[in-house]
Amino acid sequence: MNSFGRLFRISIFGESHGESVGITIDGCPAGLSLQAEDLLPDLERRKGGIQKGTTPRQETDFPIFKSGLFNNKTTGFPLTILFENNNTRSEDYNKQRSIPRPGHADWVANQKFGGHEDYRGGGHFSARLTTGLVAAGAIAKKLMPELRIEAKVTEIGGEKDTEKGLQNAIEAKDSVGGIVECLVTGLPVGLGEPYFDSLESVLAHILFAIPAVRGVEFGTGFAAAKMYGSAHNDAIEDMTGKTRTNHAGGVVGGISNGNELVFRLAVKPTSSTSKTQNSLNWETGTTEDFSIKGRHDLCVALRAPVIVEAVTAIVLADCMLLEQKIKRVL
């Protein structure tokens, strides 16, 4: 249940305030040149505390390879990568254990796992688990140097001028949502399948696994619902499959058509806000006012792009292996 992928398969583990978080990648081709340093630029982008509006919690996030690497090359066997948790302040969470934080998984986790969940810092639900995703994504990117995968925040709090949207939230002393867009160029025709393993299906599956994602759309997306067919259809121009417009966002019938892959995600405002909230105290059974301590992102969308790129790369590497466009031994 904590695994994803068919031939390039990832499995995540760990808790926010436990010993470590990590990932195992099974099915990575043998012979890929790889060292910890290759992962650092993307891991650095994921970190909080650098951009304005992100959490001050800072982890070193240095990837420790426990298996699958030999002489700085992948062996073809599972790669297990650990990230130690050093900078945890669990006492922040213990205090408020009885008030499930609105928007967070506290209450559902408690119900589903009978109180056995590690609740500190969100436990296994924490966005800290995305560290492993980013590491796997960086490896997947290395497998496909011909692709350009680029995600960015295109809107914060409804403002296309993202700096303004963020500033508004800072002034409101509140967390805020945003839109992330991802573009991929260099994709071959033919990735994805009709129906269940459509490229949109598989991408959406993992995109909705990113905490705080509430919507996913491809190409014109929700705007397509307002259009006529004659305006929406993309005329094919030549034998490479290039289309005059790209309302489809590069996927037709579930399959990549060789044009730019385009999709967008809606990211909700960080559930942790410094505003006073009113919610249930499950010890007393009544609602009460409270405010959330701990260190948090003001706009979690700001940290999403590198994660979105990572999971996109993971899906595409998997599809490329299925289509035999990446070899099992490089």
List binders of its own copies among 252-291 (CB under 8 A): 252-257, 266-273, 275, 277-280, 282, 285, 287
- The dihedrals phi and psi of 96, each to the nearest 5 degrees, come to -105, 20
Beta pairing partners, 265 = 180, 216
Locate 182 and state its tokens: 């991802």
Find the binding residues for its own copies in span 32-61 (CB under 8 A). Answer: none
Stretch that binds its own copies, among 38-46, 48-56, 104-112, 140-148 (CB under 8 A): 104-112
The Cβ of residue 103 has, within 10 Å, a number of other Cβ atoms equal to 17
Q: How far is the CB of 42 from its own copies (least distance, A)?
A: 19
Buried b (16+ CB within 10 A) or exposed e, 158-194: ebeebeebbbebeeeeebbbbbbbbbbeebeebbbbe
The residues near 205 (Cβ < 8 Å, ≥ 6 apart) are 4
Q: Is 163 in the site for its own copies (CB under 8 A)?
A: no
Is position 111 an interface residue for its own copies (rule: CB under 8 A)? yes
205 binds its own copies (CB under 8 A): yes
Sole window of 40-48, 137-145, 197-205, 302-310 interacting with its own copies (rule: CB under 8 A): 197-205
Listed ranges 20-28, 38-46, 47-55, 136-144: which one lies at the site for its own copies (CB under 8 A) = 20-28
> Binding of its own copies at residue 241 (CB under 8 A)?
yes
Choosing from 136, 220, 308, 317, the residue that interacts with its own copies (CB under 8 A) is: 220
Minimal distance in Å, beta carbon 55 to its own copies? 14
In angstroms, what is the minimal distance from the CB of 87 to its own copies?
A: 17
Looking at beta carbons only, is 41 or 214 nearer to its own copies?
214
Distance of closest approach, residue 114 Cβ to its own copies, in angstroms: 4
Q: How far is CA 67 from the centre of its chain?
A: 24
Are the CB atoms for 245 and 229 separated by under 8 Å? no
CA distance 164 to 169: 9
Distance of CA 330 to the CA centre of its chain: 27
